[in-house]
Chain A
Amino acid sequence: MGRRLLLPHTRRLMLFLRPMRYSASATATATAGSLRDPLHVCVVGSGPAGFYTAEKMLKGREGVRVDIIDRLPTPFGLVRSGVAPDHPETKIVVNQFSRVAANPRCSFFGNVTLGSDLSLSELRKTYDVVVLAYGAESDRSFGIPGEDLRGIHSAREFVWWYNGHPDMCNLAPDLTNTDSAVVLGQGNVALDVARILLRCTTELASTDIADYALDALRSSTIRKVYLVGRRGPVQAACTAKELREILGLKNVNVYIKEADLATSPADKEEMRNSRIKRRVYELLSKAATVHQENNDNDRKELHFVFFRKPTKFLPSEDGSTVGAMELEKTLLKDDGATGKQVAVGTGEFEELKCGIVLKSIGYKSLPIEGLSFDKYRGVVPNLRGRVLSSESETATVEPGLYVVGWLKRGPTGIVATNLHCAEETVDSILEDDRKGLFTDPSGPKRQGRRGLLEILEQKNARYVPFDGWEKIDTKEKADGELKNKPREKITRWNELLEAAREG
Chain B
Amino acid sequence: IRFLETFEDQFLYRDLGQYKLEKWPNYKIRIKLFSWATLPAQLLGPRSLLPSQAKPNPSSSSADPPKPAPRICCRRCVRLGFAPPVKMLSRISRLGVHALSRARLGQKSVTSRNQEEPIRACMNYVGNRSLCSATEAKVNDRSEQPKAKISVTFVDKDGDETVINVPIGMSMLEAAHENDIELEGACEGSLACSTCHVIVTDVDYYNKLEDPEDEENDMLDLAFGLTETSRLGCQVIASPELDGIRLALPAATRNFAVDGHVPKPH
Contact = CB atoms under 8 A, between A and B. Distances in A.
Interface of A: 3-13, 15-19, 21, 23-24, 34-35, 38, 87, 89-90, 92-93, 95-96, 98-99, 101-102, 104, 187-189, 237-241, 244, 275-276, 279, 382-385, 408-417, 419-421, 423-424, 449-450, 470, 473-474, 477-478, 480-481
21 contacts: A3-B84, A6-B34, A7-B35, A7-B39, A21-B180, A92-B186, A93-B186, A93-B187, A237-B265, A237-B266, A239-B265, A279-B217, A408-B257, A409-B257, A413-B263, A416-B224, A417-B264, A424-B252, A424-B257, A474-B107, A477-B108
A102 B113 CA distance: 11
Given A10-B10, A10-B32, A13-B115, A414 B266 contact: yes
A411 B108 CA distance: 31
A87 B215 CA distance: 14
B193 A415 contact: yes
A420 B192 contact: no
Contacts of B87: 4-5, 7
Nearest to B218: A241
A244 B221 CA distance: 14
Contacts of A99: 110-111, 113-114
B78 interface: yes
B256 to A, nearest CB: 6
B42 to A, nearest CB: 5
B256 A421 contact: yes
A105 B134 CA distance: 46
Contacts of B182: 21, 23
A239 B266 CA distance: 7
B30 to A, nearest CB: 11
B6 A34 contact: yes
Contacts of B108: 95, 477
Nearest to A427: B252
A481 B195 CA distance: 31
Contacts, number: 191
A413 to B, nearest CB: 5
B27 interface: no
Contacts of A279: 217-218, 221
B219 interface: yes
Contacts of A423: 252
Query: Interface centre among B10, B156, B186, by most A CB within 10 Å?
Result: B186
Given A276-B221, A276-B265, A244 B187 contact: no
B266 A189 contact: yes
A383 B259 CA distance: 11
B262 to A, nearest CB: 9
B265 A481 contact: no
B265 A187 contact: yes
B37 to A, nearest CB: 9
Nearest to B185: A96
Contact of B187 (A12, A90, A239, A276): A90
Nearest to A466: B110
B190 to A, nearest CB: 4
Nearest to A470: B110
Interface string B59-78: 00000000000000001001
Contacts of A241: 215, 218-219
Contacts of B193: 90, 93, 414-416
Grouping DSSP codes into helix (H, G, I), strand (E, B) and loop, the A interface class, with mixed when no group exceeds half, is helix
A239 B222 contact: yes
Contacts of B181: 21
Interface string B147-172: 00000000010101000000000000
A410 B266 CA distance: 11
B114 A16 contact: yes
Contacts of B252: 420, 423-424
A293 B126 CA distance: 60
Contacts of A237: 265-266
Nearest to B7: A34
Query: Interface centre among B5, B223, B265, by most A CB within 10 Å?
Result: B265
A9 B35 contact: yes
Contacts of B117: 13, 16-18
Interface string B75-103: 10010000010111000000000000000
B207 interface: no
Query: Interface centre among A21, A23, A96, A410, by most B CB within 10 Å?
Result: A96
Contacts of A244: 214, 218
Nearest to B10: A10
Contact of B114 (A13, A104, A408, A450): A13
A430 to B, nearest CB: 14
A169 B118 CA distance: 42
A424 B263 contact: no
A409 B224 CA distance: 15
A411 B10 CA distance: 43
B38 interface: yes
B18 to A, nearest CB: 11
B194 interface: yes
A19 B180 contact: yes
B234 to A, nearest CB: 12
Interface string B1-22: 0111111101100000000000
Interface string B38-60: 11001100000000000000000
Contacts of A410: 263
A89 B191 CA distance: 8
B192 A89 contact: yes
Contacts of A382: 257
B111 A13 contact: yes
Contact of A104 (B4, B34, B257): B4
Contacts of B265: 187-188, 237-239, 276, 412
Interface in B189-223: 190-195, 214-215, 217-219, 221-223
B221 A275 contact: yes
Nearest to B108: A95
